[in-house]
Amino acid sequence: MSDFKYTPDEEIAIHRIGAIKHMCRPFLSHENGLPELVKNSAAAYLREDRKPNERIITLIFARGRGKSGARIGCLDLVGMTSEQIERDFRHWADPEAATRATDRKIRVGELGGHGNGGKCYMTQMFEGHAILHTVRRRVGCRYGVGGGRVDFGYVPDVKQGKDFRVNVASEEIEGLLRSLGISTSGLPEILQKAVKCASGFTLVEGVKPKDWRGAQVVHNLLESICEHPQMTTPLQLCKIFVVINGVAFNNGETLSLPAVDPMPGSKEPRIIKVPEILDDPVSRQEISTIKTADKGARQLLIFTSEKNMRTGRGAKRQWRHTVNFHTTESGIIGRIPMSNLDVDSSYRDYMYCDCHLDSLDQYQRNDRGPLAESPLTRAVNAWISGQVREYCREFEARERQHIRRQDRDQLSRINEWLDKWKNKFMQELISGLYGEGEGIVTPLRPALPSGTPTSIEVTTSYPMAGIGVYMRPIIKFFDCNNRRVRPVPYKWVSEDNNIAMVDEELMQIQTFVAGQTTIWAETLDRRVRSNKISLEVVRVGEIRVVPKELEMPAGTRRHLEATCRLPNGEDITGVHLTWLEDDSSIARVTSSGLVFGIKPGKTKVTAIDESCKSDIPATIVVTSGEGTGEGSRKGRGYPMVLVSEIDTAPEEEQPALFRADEPPVMQRPKDVDNNIWWINLASPFARLYFNDNRYGVKSEAWRIYHVERYIDIIVQIALANGPDCDKALIARDWLFRNGELEADIRKKAIESLVDFIHSGEMA
């Protein structure tokens, strides 16, 4: 026992408003805030032990009427007393807010919470006000908060807003619904009956929601919240109706959890018990996973999806493409993307997980994102990676194809010959793109057409910047047909020139002091104004650039990242700094830390702002770009092109396997650094030309297909590594700027391969 003695203060000093606003940052959107209200209503039903058909929640969206603004509401038929309001609701950061006064903590705990989300949403996302109307046991309360404030109170005061008599709760509900433009006669029958029989209710109503644009926003919002992790349990346990401008949404059907069809043969999740002891990959120590008085199952559930959850048509499932962490008392306490797992198989993109482990409860964060780093969380993440990796290997084994030996050898010879052709072709291509020597391709920079701008689009590389740095936002002008046109005279505007101001001569933004401001561009006649971009200027105390050493071939690019330490000790990335290279003839670095290798040599790169400089400069070594074809491919100027199911990547033991619904040419995450590309033999056309008796590996059809995949890879590399690749491009700009370049590359490649395609001769 420590001998240290002291007399603690009676109260903990804290800036209440500042602390609340900091804790509420994760709920600065309707997509993240509205699910919190729904979750609170679902928890209220569980506390009451209501039957499933009685758990009815109604989301209400009403247009502005007269001087009143638009409104968003969430209605449940439970109700609160003034005691509950004052003991539970008004208390911030209360981990027992959802479960107090009930012995049903296990079920209520499925919904989790710190008692912050709903209040945060009410205080931050409404310009007018937010109010809680509630009735329970014939006693009503009105409790709310003004727009932009965090201090709740009775409306209009304690005398009139607290514990007033309500004879019939259903009549009170109907009156509130009428004020929202809703007639109960137009509601779904089950909802009508529930309102008439209600003995209590709670309606949370927000007036003048921020960032609101009408009915289309509602439909997009509904799609988003149905995919929100906090909605999973409410959607399973409750009937959730939606009313938009007085009309029941989707003909009165309730919202439902989007279905994820499993992979064939894996209908049920794989259930794995979490071991009592796991190894921390950092400290190498054994870590106990057991918490005193564990109540729930200690297990990992791995689910599968028939479609890719990360890309393609299945990408809408990204919201569920996560590892969700659950505890008995707090429900879902956090989540990480499946892509964060150390799993090198493409089958990872067809899986999602639930991990139930009570000992993780103490590591939850307010935003329910990644858990706080600790030996236990590291050990659990590493163990989950191993379980998912093992499951992926089983699917790979099932899909492994048996290819005839002679076809395998022939395909390898073709691929080896094309690989040599590709190296020579790309050397000439790189010379043309960078203007060094006579290359086969000259960069095309088509002039923008003239026109009258009707809209301006502004973007920046980073939302944060150091002090005393210059930055140039990307600005684009579009006409009434949404076609990009030449710029017209314009000026930059900063909402707070003390924090950041535009240098009109340089047309760049210069930062001065720490703080937040908003910047936009507008034409000189002020008729056309761009979107507003938020900029936070931070005070940097230390800068670390990684990697410290970077070897790269001429004609390629690599990215340096700067980690900035703030005065409070927090480490952040994504801060705009000033990047300097010692010798720009060897390598050049962009404002976002992207390094282009120009010619062989060595130089150093440093990141700075007004008050700080990176501790150690990064050393950049640019090589000639020629590879040996042996060993590791990392840093090679020319990519290695391999064929799945046939070839084995360096340092791997078996050929890579991909699925039919993955791209014809692709890279796994680990292939990017190793400069490896794959031709996916499982792709439908590859299967047809390679296996079908009408074609085969010796057919002209296969040679055309094989060559086209090589050209696809070369085009992607050329467009991604050209001198202008660091600029933010939307789809129309990409086509306009690079369409002719791509066509020229394809034309030159086909011309040099026409004899091989027709005859199969590999001269």
Residue length, the chain? 763
CA dihedral 274, 275, 276, 280 (to 10 degrees): -100
Q: What pLDDT, on the 0 to 100 scale, is given for residue 318?
A: 64
Q: Are 26 and 334 in contact (CB under 8 A)?
A: no
- Same domain as 364, residue 489: no
Q: What pLDDT, on the 0 to 100 scale, is given for residue 506?
A: 67
What single-letter amino acid sits at 109? G
Domain-embedded: residue 448: no
Distance CA 453, CA 613 (A): 41
For the chain, the farthest-separated pair of C-alpha atoms sits apart, in whole angstroms, at: 95
The tokens describing 353, both together, are 């997980």
Domain of 579, CATH number, reads 2.60.40.1080
Distance CA 464, CA 461 (A): 9
Which stretches of the chain drop beneath a pLDDT of 70? 1-2, 6, 9, 12-22, 24-27, 66, 93-115, 213-216, 292-296, 311-318, 366-367, 399-405, 427, 429-447, 504-507, 555, 625-638, 719-740, 763
Domain count, the chain: 5
**Domain housing 608:** 542-623
Domain-embedded: residue 630: no
Name the β-bridge partners of 272.
300
Distances (CA, A) of 252 to 38, 143, 187: 18, 30, 7
- Same domain as 71, residue 48: yes
Distances (CA, A) of 752 to 305, 416, 424, 485, 699: 43, 16, 11, 37, 19
Q: What pLDDT, on the 0 to 100 scale, is given for residue 732?
A: 40
Domain of 168, CATH number, reads 3.30.565.10
- Same domain as 472, residue 490: yes
The tokens describing 70, both together, are 């638009």
- Same domain as 70, residue 114: yes
- Same domain as 70, residue 164: yes
Distance CA 16, CA 22 (A): 10
Last residue of a domain, one of 593, 623, 653: 623
Q: Are 293 and 380 in contact (CB under 8 A)?
A: no
Last residue of a domain, one of 513, 537, 561: 537
DSSP tag of 251: G
- Same domain as 50, residue 174: yes
Distance CA 188, CA 252 (A): 5
Q: Are 563 and 593 in contact (CB under 8 A)?
A: no
- Same domain as 594, residue 664: no
- Same domain as 316, residue 168: no
- Same domain as 190, residue 45: yes
Domain-embedded: residue 716: yes
Q: What pLDDT, on the 0 to 100 scale, is given for residue 399?
A: 66
Strand spans (E) along 147-235: 153-154, 164-165, 201-209
Distance CA 41, CA 600 (A): 64
Those residues whose C-beta lies under 8 Å from the C-beta of residue 578, and which sit 6 or more positions away, are 466, 469, 470, 607, 608, 609
Q: Are 59 and 38 in contact (CB under 8 A)?
A: yes
- Same domain as 747, residue 606: no
- The number of CA neighbours under 13 Å toward the Cβ of 621 is 8
Q: What pLDDT, on the 0 to 100 scale, is given for residue 747?
A: 84
Distances (CA, A) of 198 to 206, 436, 490, 719: 23, 79, 60, 63
Distances (CA, A) of 40 to 157, 238, 579: 25, 12, 48
CA dihedral 546, 552, 555, 561 (to 10 degrees): -10
What single-letter amino acid sits at 70? A
- Same domain as 433, residue 522: no
Domain-embedded: residue 295: yes
In the block, which residue shows the tokens 């071991």?
Answer: 275
Last residue of a domain, one of 472, 507, 537: 537
Q: What pLDDT, on the 0 to 100 scale, is given for residue 175?
A: 93
What single-letter amino acid sits at 259? A
- Same domain as 700, residue 569: no
Domain-embedded: residue 437: yes
Name the β-bridge partners of 130.
145, 206
Q: What pLDDT, on the 0 to 100 scale, is given for residue 81?
A: 93
> Among residues 481, 479, 472, which one has the least CA distance to residue 521?
472
Name the β-bridge partners of 638.
none
In the block, which residue shows the tokens 């569920």?
Answer: 320
Domain-embedded: residue 468: yes
Q: Are 544 and 615 in contact (CB under 8 A)?
A: yes
Distance CA 374, CA 358 (A): 15
Domain-embedded: residue 222: yes
Distance CA 503, CA 529 (A): 19
Distances (CA, A) of 281 to 178, 342, 371, 505, 698: 60, 12, 16, 53, 49
Domain-embedded: residue 548: yes
Q: Are 678 and 665 in contact (CB under 8 A)?
A: yes
Q: Are 33 and 124 in contact (CB under 8 A)?
A: yes
- The number of CA neighbours under 13 Å toward the Cβ of 300 is 21
